[in-house]
Chains A and B, each alone.
Chain A
Amino acid sequence: GDSVTQMEGPVTLSEEAFLTINCTYTATGYPSLFWYVQYPGEGLQLLLKATKADDKGSNKGFEATYRKETTSFHLEKGSVQVSDSAVYFCALSDGGSNYKLTFGKGTLLTVNP
């Protein structure tokens, strides 16, 4: 079945540091890939997405590239801010089962001033 593996947290960085959160997946077919973010006390918000190989999703300074050859969708940001502190979830949607999102376990990011 489909699965998503993302790096274990927590991740603690200083403001303006470079961020990478690794995400790899297994899926049949041609999945769409997502990064969601959950700020404290809130629900999940879509951060960015990519629907086919080599697509780059970007939003709020975050980027991730859909790499079919390495089955990866790593999240990056060049300079994090305190306000980026949140839990980040990688997810995939298998085109064959249009209802389901498969989520990773989430990575807690804390950015210190």
Chain B
Amino acid sequence: AQKVTQAQTEISVVEKEDVTLDCVYETRDTTYYLFWYKQPPSGELVFLIRRNSFDEQNEISGRYSWNFQKSTSSFNFTITASQVVDSAVYFCALSEAEGTDSWGKLQFGAGTQVVVTP
């Protein structure tokens, strides 16, 4: 069975500090996808990034970066120089490889609340 663990319930930082969110996953599948979503106070989930299990290249996009390590089943997310607008709940999620029944069937972690204060 698939499982996603986000051990950090809440992280509070002062603006401009870096924030790293941990995500550990379990799956028996050899091919799978990992995601990060952001949920601001408005409630709507916003897609941030998707990675497939064959692509371990880490990525930087602006102030966001991701560290995918298949050997440790981790997919961590870092916000550099945090801003107040980064305050939100961040979810890590896992899905099986594409297939008619698998698309969109995501296993979510419990989420990490990030609070950035001025």
Instruction: Please indicate whether A and B come from the same complex rather than being unrelated chains.
Output: no
Binding site for A on B (CB under 8 A): none
